[in-house]
Protein backbone atom coordinates (compact mmCIF):
# COMPACT_ATOMS: atom_id res chain seq x y z
CA UNK A 1 0.00 0.00 0.00
CA UNK A 2 1.16 3.57 -0.65
CA UNK A 3 2.02 5.28 2.61
CA UNK A 4 -0.33 7.82 4.15
CA UNK A 5 -3.58 5.88 4.51
CA UNK A 6 -5.18 2.47 4.85
CA UNK A 7 -8.44 1.46 3.20
CA UNK A 8 -9.97 0.29 6.47
CA UNK A 9 -9.46 3.79 7.92
CA UNK A 10 -11.47 5.10 4.97
CA UNK A 11 -14.29 2.62 5.69
CA UNK A 12 -13.47 0.64 2.54
CA UNK A 13 -13.24 -3.15 2.68
CA UNK A 14 -9.59 -3.83 1.86
CA UNK A 15 -10.45 -7.33 0.65
CA UNK A 16 -12.14 -5.70 -2.34
CA UNK A 17 -8.97 -3.81 -3.26
CA UNK A 18 -6.03 -5.05 -5.31
CA UNK A 19 -2.94 -2.82 -5.42
CA UNK A 20 -1.89 -2.87 -9.07
CA UNK A 21 0.76 -0.15 -8.92
CA UNK A 22 2.29 0.65 -5.53
CA UNK A 23 3.65 4.09 -6.38
CA UNK A 24 3.80 6.83 -3.73
CA UNK A 25 0.95 9.32 -3.50
CA UNK A 26 2.08 12.53 -5.25
CA UNK A 27 1.17 16.02 -4.09
CA UNK A 28 -0.25 18.94 -6.03
CA UNK A 29 -2.59 16.88 -8.23
CA UNK A 30 -6.07 17.85 -9.45
CA UNK A 31 -8.24 14.83 -8.69
CA UNK A 32 -8.62 11.14 -7.96
CA UNK A 33 -9.58 9.30 -11.14
CA UNK A 34 -12.11 6.48 -11.35
CA UNK A 35 -11.21 4.65 -14.56
CA UNK A 36 -14.47 2.86 -15.31
CA UNK A 37 -13.98 -0.24 -17.44
CA UNK A 38 -16.49 -2.82 -16.18
CA UNK A 39 -19.02 -1.37 -13.76
CA UNK A 40 -21.07 1.05 -15.84
CA UNK A 41 -23.05 2.58 -12.99
CA UNK A 42 -22.82 5.42 -10.50
CA UNK A 43 -24.91 3.77 -7.78
CA UNK A 44 -24.19 0.56 -5.88
CA UNK A 45 -20.60 0.60 -7.15
CA UNK A 46 -17.94 -0.34 -4.57
CA UNK A 47 -15.15 0.78 -6.93
CA UNK A 48 -16.55 4.28 -7.31
CA UNK A 49 -17.27 4.37 -3.57
CA UNK A 50 -13.60 3.58 -2.89
CA UNK A 51 -12.49 6.36 -5.26
CA UNK A 52 -14.72 8.87 -3.46
CA UNK A 53 -13.41 7.72 -0.07
CA UNK A 54 -9.85 8.30 -1.27
CA UNK A 55 -10.77 11.64 -2.80
CA UNK A 56 -12.31 12.78 0.47
CA UNK A 57 -9.21 11.64 2.36
CA UNK A 58 -6.99 13.69 0.03
CA UNK A 59 -9.46 16.63 -0.15
CA UNK A 60 -9.66 16.16 -3.91
CA UNK A 61 -12.58 15.83 -6.33
CA UNK A 62 -13.21 12.58 -8.17
CA UNK A 63 -13.44 12.34 -11.95
CA UNK A 64 -15.07 9.39 -13.72
CA UNK A 65 -13.27 8.57 -16.97
CA UNK A 66 -14.43 6.01 -19.49
CA UNK A 67 -13.40 5.07 -23.01
CA UNK A 68 -14.93 2.42 -25.26
CA UNK A 69 -12.62 1.47 -28.10
CA UNK A 70 -14.08 0.05 -31.32
CA UNK A 71 -11.46 -2.70 -31.62
CA UNK A 72 -12.18 -4.82 -28.56
CA UNK A 73 -12.70 -8.52 -29.42
CA UNK A 74 -16.03 -9.10 -31.21
CA UNK A 75 -17.01 -5.42 -31.21
CA UNK A 76 -20.31 -5.19 -33.09
CA UNK A 77 -23.49 -3.16 -33.45
CA UNK A 78 -25.07 -5.47 -30.86
CA UNK A 79 -22.47 -5.00 -28.15
CA UNK A 80 -21.80 -1.33 -28.89
CA UNK A 81 -25.51 -0.47 -28.83
CA UNK A 82 -26.05 -2.18 -25.49
CA UNK A 83 -22.99 -0.48 -24.01
CA UNK A 84 -23.82 2.97 -25.38
CA UNK A 85 -27.35 2.79 -24.01
CA UNK A 86 -25.84 2.37 -20.56
CA UNK A 87 -23.17 5.03 -21.06
CA UNK A 88 -25.82 7.55 -22.11
CA UNK A 89 -27.26 7.41 -18.58
CA UNK A 90 -23.99 8.04 -16.78
CA UNK A 91 -23.51 11.82 -17.23
CA UNK A 92 -26.71 12.60 -15.33
CA UNK A 93 -26.11 9.82 -12.78
CA UNK A 94 -22.61 11.10 -12.02
CA UNK A 95 -23.75 14.71 -11.90
CA UNK A 96 -26.25 13.84 -9.16
CA UNK A 97 -23.27 12.91 -6.99
CA UNK A 98 -21.08 15.86 -7.99
CA UNK A 99 -18.84 13.77 -10.24
CA UNK A 100 -17.54 15.00 -13.61
CA UNK A 101 -17.97 12.28 -16.26
CA UNK A 102 -15.45 12.26 -19.10
CA UNK A 103 -16.25 9.87 -21.94
CA UNK A 104 -14.33 9.11 -25.14
CA UNK A 105 -15.81 7.02 -27.94
CA UNK A 106 -13.34 6.72 -30.80
CA UNK A 107 -15.03 5.41 -33.91
CA UNK A 108 -11.92 3.81 -35.38
CA UNK A 109 -8.64 2.54 -33.94
CA UNK A 110 -6.91 5.56 -35.52
CA UNK A 111 -9.06 7.91 -33.42
CA UNK A 112 -8.09 6.22 -30.17
CA UNK A 113 -5.60 8.03 -27.98
CA UNK A 114 -3.84 6.35 -25.01
CA UNK A 115 -5.35 8.81 -22.56
CA UNK A 116 -4.67 7.17 -19.21
CA UNK A 117 -0.99 8.13 -18.90
CA UNK A 118 -1.92 11.72 -19.72
CA UNK A 119 -4.68 11.74 -17.08
CA UNK A 120 -2.29 10.09 -14.66
CA UNK A 121 -0.17 13.23 -14.68
CA UNK A 122 -3.13 15.14 -13.21
CA UNK A 123 -4.34 12.39 -10.87
CA UNK A 124 -3.17 11.73 -7.32
CA UNK A 125 -4.33 8.11 -7.69
CA UNK A 126 -6.39 5.96 -10.05
CA UNK A 127 -9.07 3.50 -9.00
CA UNK A 128 -10.45 1.00 -11.53
CA UNK A 129 -12.39 -2.26 -11.68
CA UNK A 130 -11.15 -5.68 -10.60
CA UNK A 131 -12.37 -8.18 -13.18
CA UNK A 132 -10.47 -11.46 -13.68
CA UNK A 133 -11.32 -12.25 -17.32
CA UNK A 134 -11.38 -10.95 -20.90
CA UNK A 135 -9.02 -8.03 -21.65
CA UNK A 136 -9.34 -6.27 -18.29
CA UNK A 137 -6.34 -7.85 -16.49
CA UNK A 138 -4.13 -6.97 -19.46
CA UNK A 139 -5.36 -3.36 -19.46
CA UNK A 140 -4.51 -3.06 -15.76
CA UNK A 141 -1.01 -4.46 -16.27
CA UNK A 142 -0.40 -2.11 -19.17
CA UNK A 143 -1.64 0.87 -17.19
CA UNK A 144 0.61 0.03 -14.24
CA UNK A 145 3.65 0.26 -16.52
CA UNK A 146 2.58 3.64 -17.88
CA UNK A 147 1.70 5.32 -14.56
CA UNK A 148 3.77 6.79 -11.76
CA UNK A 149 0.81 7.14 -9.37
CA UNK A 150 -0.98 4.48 -7.29
CA UNK A 151 -3.36 2.27 -9.26
CA UNK A 152 -5.99 0.21 -7.43
CA UNK A 153 -8.52 -2.29 -8.81
CA UNK A 154 -11.68 -2.75 -6.75
CA UNK A 155 -14.06 -5.69 -6.88
CA UNK A 156 -17.53 -4.37 -7.69
CA UNK A 157 -18.68 -7.59 -9.39
CA UNK A 158 -19.11 -10.05 -6.52
CA UNK A 159 -21.08 -9.88 -3.29
CA UNK A 160 -18.40 -11.68 -1.30
CA UNK A 161 -15.14 -10.15 -2.58
CA UNK A 162 -13.36 -12.64 -4.80
CA UNK A 163 -10.13 -12.16 -2.84
CA UNK A 164 -11.80 -13.43 0.36
CA UNK A 165 -11.74 -16.96 -1.11
CA UNK A 166 -8.00 -17.47 -1.26
CA UNK A 167 -7.90 -20.83 -3.06
CA UNK A 168 -9.52 -22.27 -6.21
CA UNK A 169 -12.59 -24.33 -5.39
CA UNK A 170 -13.36 -27.83 -6.65
CA UNK A 171 -17.01 -27.03 -7.15
CA UNK A 172 -20.10 -25.38 -5.72
CA UNK A 173 -20.14 -27.90 -2.89
CA UNK A 174 -16.81 -26.62 -1.53
CA UNK A 175 -17.50 -22.94 -2.14
CA UNK A 176 -21.08 -22.80 -0.84
CA UNK A 177 -20.33 -23.23 2.89
CA UNK A 178 -17.52 -20.66 2.73
CA UNK A 179 -19.80 -18.11 1.12
CA UNK A 180 -22.69 -18.78 3.48
CA UNK A 181 -20.47 -17.95 6.46
CA UNK A 182 -19.65 -14.60 4.85
CA UNK A 183 -23.11 -13.61 3.60
CA UNK A 184 -24.17 -11.96 6.90
CA UNK A 185 -21.16 -9.66 6.55
CA UNK A 186 -21.86 -8.67 2.94
CA UNK A 187 -25.47 -9.17 1.89
CA UNK A 188 -26.86 -6.25 3.85
CA UNK A 189 -24.39 -3.61 2.69
CA UNK A 190 -25.42 -0.97 0.20
CA UNK A 191 -22.97 1.11 -1.86
CA UNK A 192 -24.79 4.33 -2.55
CA UNK A 193 -21.97 6.79 -3.18
CA UNK A 194 -20.85 8.57 -0.04
CA UNK A 195 -21.01 12.37 -0.21
CA UNK A 196 -18.13 13.96 -2.10
CA UNK A 197 -16.49 16.76 -0.12
CA UNK A 198 -14.64 18.63 -2.86
CA UNK A 199 -17.72 19.42 -4.95
CA UNK A 200 -16.69 23.04 -5.66
CA UNK A 201 -13.31 21.93 -7.02
CA UNK A 202 -15.04 19.27 -9.12
CA UNK A 203 -17.09 21.92 -10.96
CA UNK A 204 -13.91 23.73 -11.98
CA UNK A 205 -12.33 20.69 -13.65
CA UNK A 206 -12.26 20.25 -17.41
CA UNK A 207 -10.69 17.65 -19.69
CA UNK A 208 -8.00 18.41 -22.23
CA UNK A 209 -9.90 16.58 -24.95
CA UNK A 210 -13.33 16.60 -26.58
CA UNK A 211 -16.01 14.59 -24.81
CA UNK A 212 -18.25 12.12 -26.62
CA UNK A 213 -22.05 11.98 -26.55
CA UNK A 214 -23.10 8.33 -26.13
CA UNK A 215 -26.78 9.05 -26.76
CA UNK A 216 -26.06 10.70 -30.11
CA UNK A 217 -23.55 8.07 -31.18
CA UNK A 218 -25.96 5.25 -30.34
CA UNK A 219 -27.93 6.51 -33.34
CA UNK A 220 -24.82 6.47 -35.50
CA UNK A 221 -23.50 2.93 -35.15
CA UNK A 222 -22.73 2.87 -38.87
CA UNK A 223 -19.94 5.42 -38.25
CA UNK A 224 -17.99 3.00 -36.03
CA UNK A 225 -15.48 0.52 -37.43
CA UNK A 226 -17.13 -2.50 -35.83
CA UNK A 227 -18.88 -5.65 -37.04
CA UNK A 228 -22.15 -4.48 -38.59
CA UNK A 229 -23.31 -8.02 -39.37
CA UNK A 230 -24.41 -8.63 -35.74
CA UNK A 231 -27.37 -6.28 -35.17
CA UNK A 232 -28.71 -5.04 -31.83
CA UNK A 233 -31.23 -7.30 -30.12
CA UNK A 234 -34.73 -5.90 -30.65
CA UNK A 235 -36.58 -4.89 -27.48
CA UNK A 236 -33.52 -5.38 -25.23
CA UNK A 237 -31.95 -2.15 -24.01
CA UNK A 238 -28.80 -1.63 -22.02
CA UNK A 239 -28.40 0.60 -18.99
CA UNK A 240 -29.26 0.77 -15.34
CA UNK A 241 -32.88 1.84 -15.87
CA UNK A 242 -33.49 -1.23 -18.05
CA UNK A 243 -31.67 -3.43 -15.53
CA UNK A 244 -33.86 -2.30 -12.64
CA UNK A 245 -36.96 -2.70 -14.77
CA UNK A 246 -35.92 -6.25 -15.70
CA UNK A 247 -35.24 -7.07 -12.04
CA UNK A 248 -38.70 -5.86 -11.04
CA UNK A 249 -40.36 -7.79 -13.88
CA UNK A 250 -38.57 -10.95 -12.78
CA UNK A 251 -39.82 -10.53 -9.22
CA UNK A 252 -43.39 -9.85 -10.32
CA UNK A 253 -43.77 -12.49 -13.03
CA UNK A 254 -41.05 -15.15 -12.85
CA UNK A 255 -39.74 -15.49 -9.30
CA UNK A 256 -42.71 -17.69 -8.41
CA UNK A 257 -41.80 -21.07 -9.90
CA UNK A 258 -38.20 -20.12 -10.65
CA UNK A 259 -36.98 -23.09 -8.60
CA UNK A 260 -38.97 -25.66 -10.58
CA UNK A 261 -39.32 -24.12 -14.04
CA UNK A 262 -36.09 -22.22 -14.74
CA UNK A 263 -34.49 -25.22 -16.52
CA UNK A 264 -37.47 -25.76 -18.84
CA UNK A 265 -36.68 -24.25 -22.26
CA UNK A 266 -40.38 -24.07 -23.08
CA UNK A 267 -41.05 -21.65 -20.22
CA UNK A 268 -39.69 -18.12 -19.98
CA UNK A 269 -38.67 -18.46 -16.34
CA UNK A 270 -35.15 -17.02 -16.57
CA UNK A 271 -34.29 -13.78 -14.80
CA UNK A 272 -32.82 -12.09 -17.92
CA UNK A 273 -30.34 -10.22 -15.69
CA UNK A 274 -27.01 -11.67 -16.81
CA UNK A 275 -26.25 -9.00 -19.48
CA UNK A 276 -26.79 -6.29 -16.87
CA UNK A 277 -24.44 -7.99 -14.43
CA UNK A 278 -21.81 -8.41 -17.13
CA UNK A 279 -21.90 -4.77 -18.24
CA UNK A 280 -22.00 -3.57 -14.65
CA UNK A 281 -25.42 -1.92 -14.84
CA UNK A 282 -26.53 -3.85 -11.76
CA UNK A 283 -24.65 -4.93 -8.63
CA UNK A 284 -25.44 -8.55 -7.66
CA UNK A 285 -25.75 -7.50 -4.03
CA UNK A 286 -28.62 -5.12 -4.72
CA UNK A 287 -30.37 -7.76 -6.84
CA UNK A 288 -29.99 -10.30 -4.02
CA UNK A 289 -31.34 -7.87 -1.41
CA UNK A 290 -34.28 -6.88 -3.61
CA UNK A 291 -35.29 -10.46 -4.34
CA UNK A 292 -34.79 -11.49 -0.72
CA UNK A 293 -37.03 -8.65 0.43
CA UNK A 294 -39.71 -9.52 -2.12
CA UNK A 295 -39.74 -13.28 -1.60
CA UNK A 296 -38.62 -13.80 1.97
CA UNK A 297 -35.88 -16.10 3.25
CA UNK A 298 -37.89 -19.31 2.82
CA UNK A 299 -39.26 -18.65 -0.65
CA UNK A 300 -38.05 -21.54 -2.87
CA UNK A 301 -37.71 -19.33 -5.95
CA UNK A 302 -35.66 -16.84 -3.98
CA UNK A 303 -33.40 -19.59 -2.63
CA UNK A 304 -32.86 -20.96 -6.14
CA UNK A 305 -32.08 -17.48 -7.47
CA UNK A 306 -29.52 -16.85 -4.73
CA UNK A 307 -27.88 -20.20 -5.47
CA UNK A 308 -27.40 -19.16 -9.09
CA UNK A 309 -26.36 -15.58 -8.31
CA UNK A 310 -24.28 -15.94 -5.15
CA UNK A 311 -22.82 -19.43 -5.48
CA UNK A 312 -22.64 -20.54 -9.13
CA UNK A 313 -21.75 -17.10 -10.47
CA UNK A 314 -19.12 -16.48 -7.81
CA UNK A 315 -17.71 -19.97 -8.41
CA UNK A 316 -16.98 -18.78 -11.95
CA UNK A 317 -15.22 -15.68 -10.63
CA UNK A 318 -13.26 -17.86 -8.23
CA UNK A 319 -11.99 -19.97 -11.14
CA UNK A 320 -10.94 -16.94 -13.19
CA UNK A 321 -9.40 -15.18 -10.18
CA UNK A 322 -7.06 -18.11 -9.59
CA UNK A 323 -6.39 -18.90 -13.26
CA UNK A 324 -4.39 -16.63 -15.56
CA UNK A 325 -6.33 -15.41 -18.60
CA UNK A 326 -4.28 -17.43 -21.15
CA UNK A 327 -5.07 -20.63 -19.21
CA UNK A 328 -8.74 -19.97 -18.47
CA UNK A 329 -9.95 -21.63 -21.67
CA UNK A 330 -7.39 -24.43 -21.72
CA UNK A 331 -7.64 -28.19 -21.45
CA UNK A 332 -4.59 -27.98 -19.19
CA UNK A 333 -6.69 -26.19 -16.54
CA UNK A 334 -9.22 -29.03 -16.26
CA UNK A 335 -9.25 -31.48 -13.35
CA UNK A 336 -6.79 -34.28 -13.88
CA UNK A 337 -9.47 -36.94 -14.41
CA UNK A 338 -11.14 -34.89 -17.18
CA UNK A 339 -7.87 -33.95 -18.84
CA UNK A 340 -6.65 -37.54 -18.96
CA UNK A 341 -10.00 -38.95 -20.06
CA UNK A 342 -10.39 -36.49 -22.92
CA UNK A 343 -6.83 -37.17 -24.02
CA UNK A 344 -7.50 -40.92 -24.04
CA UNK A 345 -10.46 -40.37 -26.37
CA UNK A 346 -9.04 -37.48 -28.38
CA UNK A 347 -8.66 -39.61 -31.52
CA UNK A 348 -12.04 -41.34 -31.25
CA UNK A 349 -14.08 -41.13 -34.43
CA UNK A 350 -16.71 -38.39 -34.18
CA UNK A 351 -20.21 -39.17 -35.39
CA UNK A 352 -20.22 -35.74 -37.03
CA UNK A 353 -17.55 -33.11 -37.65
CA UNK A 354 -18.94 -29.67 -38.40
CA UNK A 355 -16.99 -26.61 -39.45
CA UNK A 356 -17.17 -23.39 -37.47
CA UNK A 357 -19.15 -21.85 -40.32
CA UNK A 358 -21.73 -24.66 -40.19
CA UNK A 359 -22.09 -24.24 -36.45
CA UNK A 360 -22.39 -20.47 -36.72
CA UNK A 361 -25.11 -20.83 -39.34
CA UNK A 362 -27.07 -23.43 -37.33
CA UNK A 363 -26.60 -26.02 -40.09
CA UNK A 364 -26.23 -29.29 -38.20
CA UNK A 365 -28.22 -32.49 -38.17
CA UNK A 366 -29.58 -31.74 -34.68
CA UNK A 367 -32.72 -29.60 -34.86
CA UNK A 368 -32.71 -28.67 -31.18
CA UNK A 369 -29.09 -27.54 -31.33
CA UNK A 370 -29.88 -25.47 -34.43
CA UNK A 371 -32.73 -23.81 -32.55
CA UNK A 372 -30.50 -22.93 -29.60
CA UNK A 373 -27.82 -21.49 -31.90
CA UNK A 374 -30.51 -19.45 -33.62
CA UNK A 375 -31.69 -18.14 -30.25
CA UNK A 376 -28.12 -17.05 -29.53
CA UNK A 377 -27.80 -15.29 -32.87
CA UNK A 378 -31.14 -13.50 -32.70
CA UNK A 379 -31.79 -13.05 -28.97
CA UNK A 380 -28.25 -12.57 -27.73
CA UNK A 381 -28.40 -15.44 -25.25
CA UNK A 382 -29.31 -19.13 -24.99
CA UNK A 383 -31.64 -20.59 -22.43
CA UNK A 384 -29.38 -21.67 -19.56
CA UNK A 385 -30.17 -25.38 -19.75
CA UNK A 386 -29.79 -25.51 -23.51
CA UNK A 387 -26.48 -23.64 -23.32
CA UNK A 388 -25.06 -26.68 -21.53
CA UNK A 389 -26.39 -29.00 -24.25
CA UNK A 390 -25.15 -26.55 -26.90
CA UNK A 391 -21.61 -26.79 -25.50
CA UNK A 392 -21.67 -30.57 -25.11
CA UNK A 393 -22.58 -31.07 -28.75
CA UNK A 394 -19.82 -28.68 -29.89
CA UNK A 395 -17.40 -30.85 -27.91
CA UNK A 396 -18.69 -33.97 -29.69
CA UNK A 397 -18.59 -32.32 -33.12
CA UNK A 398 -15.13 -30.72 -32.96
CA UNK A 399 -11.81 -32.33 -33.96
CA UNK A 400 -10.28 -31.80 -30.49
CA UNK A 401 -11.40 -30.58 -27.04
CA UNK A 402 -9.12 -27.55 -27.39
CA UNK A 403 -10.79 -26.53 -30.63
CA UNK A 404 -14.21 -27.09 -29.05
CA UNK A 405 -13.36 -24.58 -26.32
CA UNK A 406 -12.30 -21.97 -28.85
CA UNK A 407 -15.44 -22.51 -30.91
CA UNK A 408 -17.71 -22.12 -27.89
CA UNK A 409 -15.97 -18.92 -26.87
CA UNK A 410 -16.04 -17.51 -30.39
CA UNK A 411 -19.74 -18.18 -31.02
CA UNK A 412 -20.84 -17.06 -27.58
CA UNK A 413 -18.68 -13.95 -27.42
CA UNK A 414 -19.71 -12.86 -30.89
CA UNK A 415 -23.45 -13.00 -30.25
CA UNK A 416 -24.15 -13.07 -26.50
CA UNK A 417 -24.82 -9.86 -24.64
CA UNK A 418 -23.42 -11.52 -21.52
CA UNK A 419 -20.39 -13.10 -23.19
CA UNK A 420 -16.73 -12.36 -22.41
CA UNK A 421 -17.52 -12.99 -18.77
CA UNK A 422 -16.19 -15.33 -16.04
CA UNK A 423 -19.59 -17.05 -16.01
CA UNK A 424 -19.18 -17.91 -19.71
CA UNK A 425 -15.58 -19.06 -19.27
CA UNK A 426 -16.47 -21.38 -16.38
CA UNK A 427 -19.51 -22.71 -18.23
CA UNK A 428 -17.43 -23.72 -21.24
CA UNK A 429 -14.85 -25.35 -19.00
CA UNK A 430 -17.67 -27.16 -17.16
CA UNK A 431 -18.67 -28.67 -20.51
CA UNK A 432 -15.25 -30.38 -20.43
CA UNK A 433 -15.40 -31.37 -16.75
CA UNK A 434 -14.49 -28.36 -14.61
CA UNK A 435 -16.41 -28.20 -11.29
CA UNK A 436 -17.98 -31.58 -12.13
CA UNK A 437 -17.41 -35.28 -11.45
CA UNK A 438 -16.61 -38.32 -13.63
CA UNK A 439 -19.42 -40.24 -15.33
CA UNK A 440 -19.57 -43.59 -17.07
CA UNK A 441 -16.93 -43.72 -19.79
CA UNK A 442 -18.00 -43.47 -23.43
CA UNK A 443 -16.57 -42.57 -26.83
CA UNK A 444 -15.30 -39.04 -27.49
CA UNK A 445 -16.45 -37.65 -24.13
CA UNK A 446 -14.63 -40.18 -22.02
CA UNK A 447 -15.78 -39.70 -18.42
CA UNK A 448 -17.10 -36.18 -19.01
CA UNK A 449 -20.81 -35.72 -18.29
CA UNK A 450 -22.93 -36.44 -21.40
CA UNK A 451 -26.04 -34.59 -22.55
CA UNK A 452 -28.27 -35.30 -25.52
CA UNK A 453 -31.12 -33.67 -27.37
CA UNK A 454 -33.19 -36.84 -27.00
CA UNK A 455 -32.80 -36.86 -23.22
CA UNK A 456 -33.67 -33.16 -23.13
CA UNK A 457 -36.82 -33.87 -25.11
CA UNK A 458 -37.73 -36.57 -22.59
CA UNK A 459 -37.38 -34.14 -19.68
CA UNK A 460 -39.18 -31.11 -21.12
CA UNK A 461 -41.99 -30.17 -23.45
CA UNK A 462 -39.91 -28.54 -26.19
CA UNK A 463 -42.90 -27.61 -28.36
CA UNK A 464 -43.09 -23.92 -27.30
CA UNK A 465 -39.34 -23.47 -27.64
CA UNK A 466 -39.15 -25.06 -31.08
CA UNK A 467 -42.17 -23.13 -32.25
CA UNK A 468 -40.21 -19.95 -31.62
CA UNK A 469 -36.71 -20.91 -32.71
CA UNK A 470 -36.93 -23.83 -35.16
CA UNK A 471 -37.12 -23.05 -38.88
CA UNK A 472 -38.26 -24.95 -41.98
CA UNK A 473 -35.40 -27.07 -43.21
CA UNK A 474 -34.08 -27.88 -39.74
CA UNK A 475 -33.55 -31.54 -38.97
CA UNK A 476 -36.65 -32.79 -37.15
CA UNK A 477 -36.39 -33.05 -33.37
CA UNK A 478 -37.36 -36.43 -32.01
CA UNK A 479 -40.06 -35.77 -29.44
CA UNK A 480 -40.69 -39.03 -27.56
CA UNK A 481 -43.81 -39.72 -25.62
CA UNK A 482 -42.87 -38.26 -22.29
CA UNK A 483 -43.56 -40.45 -19.30
CA UNK A 484 -44.17 -37.59 -16.86
CA UNK A 485 -45.40 -34.64 -18.87
CA UNK A 486 -45.64 -31.31 -17.07
CA UNK A 487 -49.13 -30.02 -16.59
- Over the stretch 122-143, which tens digit does the pLDDT of each residue have? 999 999 999 999 999 999 999 9
The whole-number pLDDT of residue 417 equals 98
In a domain, 475, yes or no: no
DSSP 472: T
Considering the entire predicted model, what is its pTM? 0.96
Neighbours of 372 (CB within 10 A): 25
Tell me: do 450 and 423 sit in the same domain: yes
Q: ∠ CA(462), CA(79), CA(426), 5° rounding?
A: 60
Residue 474 domain-assigned? no
User: Are the C-beta atoms of residues 25 and 3 closer than 8 Å to each other?
Assistant: yes
Q: Does residue 318 sit in the same domain as residue 393?
A: no
Contacts of 233 (CB under 8 A, 6+ apart): 78, 82, 378, 379, 380, 417
Q: Does residue 219 lie within any of the structural domains? A: no
CB 187 within 8 A of CB 286: no
* In the chain, % of residues over pLDDT 70: 98
What does the pLDDT look like over 432-442, one tens digit per residue?
999 999 999 99
| CATH (domain of 98) | 3.40.50.620
Segment 421-434 mean pLDDT:
98
- State whether 375 and 279 are in the same domain: no
Alpha helices in 26-162, H assignment, sequence order: 46-58, 77-87, 90-95, 116-120, 136-146
Q: Is residue 121 part of a domain?
A: yes
Which residues, listed in sequence order, are joined to residue 446 by a DSSP beta bridge? 442
Domain extent for 374: 325-469
Q: What is the DSSP letter of 386?
A: H
**10 Å Cβ neighbour count for 248?**
12
Around 476, how many Cα atoms within 13 Å sit in the side-chain half-sphere?
3
Look at residues 166, 425, 187, 409 and name the one whose alpha carbon lies nearest to residue 313.
425
141 and 290 part of one domain = no
Whether 310 and 363 map to the same domain: the answer is no
CATH of the domain at 384: 1.10.579.10
Amino acid sequence: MPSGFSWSELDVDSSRVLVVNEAPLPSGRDFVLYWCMVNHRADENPALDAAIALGNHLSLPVVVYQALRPDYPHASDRLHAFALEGLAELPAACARHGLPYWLELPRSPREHRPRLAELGKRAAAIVSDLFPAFIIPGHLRGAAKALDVPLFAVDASCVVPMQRITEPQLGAYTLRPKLRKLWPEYLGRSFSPRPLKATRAAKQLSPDFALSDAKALRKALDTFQIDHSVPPVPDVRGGRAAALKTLQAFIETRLEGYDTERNDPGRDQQSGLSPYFHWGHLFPGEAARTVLKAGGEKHPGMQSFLEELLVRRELAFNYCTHTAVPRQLSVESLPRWARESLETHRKDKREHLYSLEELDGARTGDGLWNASQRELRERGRIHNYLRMLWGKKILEWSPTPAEALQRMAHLNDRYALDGRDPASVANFMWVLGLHDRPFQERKVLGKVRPMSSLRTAEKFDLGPYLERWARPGDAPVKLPRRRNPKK
